[in-house]
Amino acid sequence: MNKTKKMEVKNLNSPEETRNFDKGKVDLVKIGGAMVGRAVFQPGWKWSESVKPIAKTKSCEAPHFQYHVSGTLRVRMDDGTERDLKAGDVSLLPSGHDAWVVGNDPVVVVDFQGMLDYARGPGKNR
């Protein structure tokens, strides 16, 4: 049987779900079987302070494939590797990292991987 594929369009300005946490939020849409999220992290946000209490893991275990829209996000991998990610950057971050906002501007990223269970709660989140 020939299955007709249909165009899908979703808009992150009308998210299907929003997850709020200390100094940040993630707006989510499901498209093509994947969960895409736009995260906004306010100045002072740090994963180990804002999301770790929800995730209850040593470091962020969600792998991320992200496009950085604005702001500066510093990422430190568990092995100590550290890098600043800025507007226009595309990053692929494996499990095992911390991250925080550098400066006074919010960080906005669009994440194409790793948002399914992000900031969701014990046993289901990263």
Distances (CA, A) of 1 to 4, 7: 10, 19
Per-residue model confidence as pLDDT tens digits over 62-97: 899 999 999 999 999 999 999 999 999 999 999 999
CA 68 to chain centroid, in Å, comes to 10
Candidates 33, 66, 61; CA nearest to 123 is 61
- The one-character DSSP state at 5 is P
**37 versus 2: which is more confidently predicted?**
37
Question: What domains lie within the chain, and their CATH numbers?
Answer: 17-111 (2.60.120.10)
What rounded mean pLDDT belongs to the chain? Answer: 90
Confidence (pLDDT) at 5: 84
Bridge partners, residue 20, by sequence: 25
Q: Extract the tokens encoding 116.
A: 């399914």
In sequence order, what E strands does 55-125 have?
A: 64-70, 72-77, 82-85, 90-93, 97-102, 107-111
Yes or no: say if 113 and 65 are a contact pair by the CB < 8 Å rule: yes
Confidence (pLDDT) at 3: 65
